[in-house]
Amino acid sequence: MLAQSPASARNQALTGAAAALRARADEILAANATDLAAYDGLPALRDRLRLDRRRVEAMAVGLEEIAALPDPLGHVMAQWTRPNGLLFRRVSTPIGVIGMIYESRPNVGADAAGICLKSGNAVILRGGSDSFHSAAAIHAAIQDGLRAAALPEASVQIAPGRDRAFVAAMLQASGLIDLIIPRGGKGLVTRVQAEARVPVLAHAEGLCHTYIHAAADPGMARRIMANAKMRRTDVCGATETLLIDAAIAPNLLPAIVADLGGLGCEFRADAAARAIVGDLPTASEADFHTEWLDRVLSIRVVAGVDEAIAHIAAHGSEHTEAIITEDAGVAEHFLTATSSAVVLWNASTQFCDGGEFGFGAEIGIATGRIQARGPVGVEQLTTFRYQIRGTGQVRP
């Protein structure tokens, strides 16, 4: 049984699956070619579906890296003894069965299967209809790994067809599936969140803010902003809104606009920002609620840290926010009073990533308040059990 299997068996399944991905590369690419030939979606999204030898190798390396992580199961998270002599231990255990619902990138299935296997959880994979044959070929390689480790093949299952009713059934499968993790666009995630009768770990969007405080180091602020907005614009940790103190904006905002404009960024600015940098387009209130995921930045000038915190509370998605300041007291206030899953001081919001956290791999990022927040790695896919050792104690 997977939940009680030794780490060695789970790791053997992972390295075996990596080897099988390489051995089955031709087969996986042929399946992917079938998917690509049938693809009739947005041309811009076609590349997400495409696999090549490099991407297959990256999936295999990803599984090997997960195998090399420490075992997250069986940790004694807390231990104490009561006056009556009872020894209490809180021990990490698998959650159970994870339902993974994802869109077109087929490699997400391999990553998710690897993270679930490592953490002793069974997983049911339901990829996008577009990637059906690719997902099945990847699944076959993972089954090879499970067989090589003598673990149940049912540990990693795949939706049997493209019927959308299967997703609906997963969302209703309370008692059979313990946790649903959707990965994809806001439409997919919000539908899952609205319809699921099973707990969900997810983020519907990453409307991340960088706040430049009056006491920011201007050079650092410019370097961080260029990275936070423009390193990649299509990731959930990209900054979507710049909040900048009125005291520093006249000196700093023109340089930031020049930096980012030079990288191809457009702007949506409030009146105060436009008074400083004249030819910026006007931001609407809706713009400040928009996750651009593109080369666009909303800009608002604020009076200070509390106005920045209030703006984030009103417009943010509880994902990731950063403050740039040399004032440690203001930074601590921001780090404490901002309720987002991840808050940074003097660093780029694009660090919100399981790899950058040192988790080795992530299955998604959570912005809810329950079970886990921020990047979800193998440790966040565990729960716990209390083991109590006695010597015949009865309760008075």
Q: Please pick, from the candidates 187, 262, 329, 390, the single residue that binds a copy of itself as defined by CB under 8 A.
A: 390
The interface mask with a copy of itself, positions 54-83, x = CB under 8 A, is: --------------------x-----x-x-
Answer yes or no whether residue 234 interacts with a copy of itself by CB under 8 A.
Answer: no
Answer yes or no whether residue 361 interacts with a copy of itself by CB under 8 A.
Answer: no
Q: Please pick, from the candidates 69, 137, 341, 378, the single residue that binds a copy of itself as defined by CB under 8 A.
A: 341
Q: Please pick, from the candidates 28, 49, 59, 95, the single residue that binds a copy of itself as defined by CB under 8 A.
A: 95
175: left (phi over 0), alpha (psi -120 to 50) or beta: left
Answer yes or no whether residue 360 interacts with a copy of itself by CB under 8 A.
Answer: no
CB of 263 to a copy of itself, least distance (A): 13
How many chain residues interact with a copy of itself (CB under 8 A)? 64
Q: What amino acid is encoded at 211 in this protein?
A: Y
Answer yes or no whether residue 260 interacts with a copy of itself by CB under 8 A.
Answer: no
Answer yes or no whether residue 358 interacts with a copy of itself by CB under 8 A.
Answer: yes
Answer yes or no whether residue 314 interacts with a copy of itself by CB under 8 A.
Answer: no
> Can you tell me the distance from the alpha carbon of 64 to that of 255, in angstroms, rounded to the nearest whole number?
44
Q: Which is nearer to a copy of itself, 272 or 327 (CB)?
A: 327
Structure tokens at 84: 């009556």
Structure tokens at 205: 């969007």
Answer yes or no whether residue 227 interacts with a copy of itself by CB under 8 A.
Answer: yes
Q: For 172-175, which contacts have Cβ atoms below 8 Å and span 24 or more sequence positions? A: 172/197, 172/198, 173/99, 173/197, 173/198, 174/198
Closest CA to 368 of 114, 179, 125: 179
Considering only residues 201 through 220, tell me which ones interact with a copy of itself, judged by CB under 8 A. 217, 220
Answer yes or no whether residue 199 interacts with a copy of itself by CB under 8 A.
Answer: yes
> Which residues, 6 or more positions from 376, have their beta carbon under 8 angstroms from its beta carbon?
181, 201, 354, 362, 363, 364, 365, 366
Give the torsion sign (CA, 36, 40, 44, 45): negative
Answer yes or no whether residue 391 interacts with a copy of itself by CB under 8 A.
Answer: yes
Identify the H or E element spanning 321: strand 320-324
Answer yes or no whether residue 325 interacts with a copy of itself by CB under 8 A.
Answer: no
Q: Which is nearer to a copy of itself, 12 or 227 (CB)?
A: 227
CB of 262 to a copy of itself, least distance (A): 16
Answer yes or no whether residue 259 interacts with a copy of itself by CB under 8 A.
Answer: no
Q: Which is nearer to a copy of itself, 5 or 107 (CB)?
A: 5
What letter would DSSP give residue 348?
-
Q: Which is nearer to a copy of itself, 39 or 327 (CB)?
A: 327
CB of 343 to a copy of itself, least distance (A): 6
376: left (phi over 0), alpha (psi -120 to 50) or beta: beta
Q: Are 378 and 183 in contact (CB under 8 A)?
A: no
Q: Which is nearer to a copy of itself, 284 or 336 (CB)?
A: 336
> Can you tell me the distance from the alpha carbon of 51 to that of 229, in angstroms, rounded to the nearest whole number?
28
Considering only residues 166 through 195, tell me which ones interact with a copy of itself, judged by CB under 8 A. 174, 178-179, 193-194
Q: Which is nearer to a copy of itself, 282 or 393 (CB)?
A: 393
CB of 281 to a copy of itself, least distance (A): 26
> Can you tell me the distance from the alpha carbon of 218 to that of 22, in angstroms, rounded to the nearest whole number?
48
> Can you tell me the distance from the alpha carbon of 98 to that of 176, in angstroms, rounded to the nearest whole number?
9
Answer yes or no whether residue 295 interacts with a copy of itself by CB under 8 A.
Answer: no
Answer yes or no whether residue 283 interacts with a copy of itself by CB under 8 A.
Answer: no
> Can you tell me the distance from the alpha carbon of 65 to that of 14, in angstroms, rounded to the nearest whole number?
9
Q: In residues, how long is the chain?
A: 396
Answer yes or no whether residue 369 interacts with a copy of itself by CB under 8 A.
Answer: yes
Q: Are 207 and 319 in contact (CB under 8 A)?
A: yes
Answer yes or no whether residue 304 interacts with a copy of itself by CB under 8 A.
Answer: no
> Can you tell me the distance from the alpha carbon of 56 to that of 122, in angstroms, rounded to the nearest whole number?
23
Q: Please pick, from the candidates 58, 140, 226, 247, the single residue that binds a copy of itself as defined by CB under 8 A.
A: 226
> Can you tell me the distance from the alpha carbon of 258 to that of 262, in angstroms, rounded to the nearest whole number?
6
Judged by the rule CB under 8 A, the positions of this chain that interact with a copy of itself are: 3-4, 74, 80, 82, 86, 88, 93, 95-96, 174, 178-179, 193-194, 197, 199, 217, 220, 223-224, 226-228, 231, 331, 335-337, 339-348, 350-351, 353, 356-358, 368-371, 373-374, 383-395
